[in-house]
Amino acid sequence: MIQTGNLPARTLIGLSRPFISASSSNSNADKVIGPLWGEMSKKFFSMTLKRDANPVGVGAMWRDVEFETDGSMIYFAGYEVHEVPEDLAGLELLEIPESKYAFVEHNGPIQELPSVITNFYTKLLPESNLDRRVGLDLEIYFENENPELAPRVVIAAPVNG
């Protein structure tokens, strides 16, 4: 079920790359996003900084200037931090302000996540009649204390109101 509400501001350290949206016939999302998370995680976890035992991972997406032509978007893969180090070690900083979102939660196997995302954007969000706004779409990954369990994932789209 779709929910709405304000999501808190977040400060992220990570990496970004252009990709072609999964909704496009020429999508390369599967070739870009997974490897980006791997590269970013390797750099992030090699840094010396104060962080939570299970840091919150956030994927943020926004439309690139060519979106209407070919589905171009930017994907940012990062981890939430409470303080920004002086040396980002080749990583980028992304500040996400508190804002209103429509969202769904997924609490199952990570292999089911692509179908949850597709259902959210193609069925639930359009049927909600919520007024989307320009902004960052988010995938928020909350790791479980037990590494055997899949993370809780929130899929969120910016809305007005």
CATH code for the domain in which residue 75 is found:
3.20.80.10
Decide: 43 and 122 in contact? Cβ < 8 Å.
no
**pLDDT confidence of residue 57:** 94
Among 12, 10, 13, which residue's Cα sits nearest to residue 91? 13
**pLDDT confidence of residue 137:** 96
Average pLDDT across the chain, whole number: 91
- C-alpha to C-alpha distance for 73 and 18, rounded to whole angstroms: 6
Mean pLDDT of 93-120: 93
**pLDDT confidence of residue 44:** 94
Angle at 116 between CA 112 and CA 118, to 5 degrees: 120
Query: pTM (2 decimals)?
Result: 0.91
- Report the run of H or E that residue 35 belongs to, with start and end: helix 29-46
Choose the weakest-confidence range: 74-83, 126-135, 138-147.
138-147
Q: Which domain holds residue 17?
A: 3-158
- C-alpha to C-alpha distance for 72 and 28, rounded to whole angstroms: 10
With a cut of 90, say whether residue 97 has pLDDT above it: yes
Residue 50 pLDDT grade (very low, low, confident, very high; cuts 50, 70, 90): confident
Residue 23 pLDDT grade (very low, low, confident, very high; cuts 50, 70, 90): confident
Among 102, 67, 79, which residue's Cα sits nearest to residue 10? 79
pLDDT in tens, 68-88: 778 899 999 999 999 999 999
Q: Are strands 3-7 and 10-20 parallel, antiparallel or unpaired?
A: unpaired
pLDDT in tens, 101-112: 999 999 988 889
**pLDDT confidence of residue 52:** 72
Total tally of structural domains belonging to the chain: 1
Q: Per-residue DSSP letters for 69-120?
A: HH-EEEEEEEEE-SS--S--TT-EEEEE--EEEEEEEE-S-GGGHHHHHHHI
143 vs 50, residue with greater confidence: 143
Among 42, 78, 44, 43, which residue's Cα sits nearest to residue 60? 78
**pLDDT confidence of residue 71:** 84
Choose the weakest-confidence range: 7-16, 125-134, 147-156.
147-156
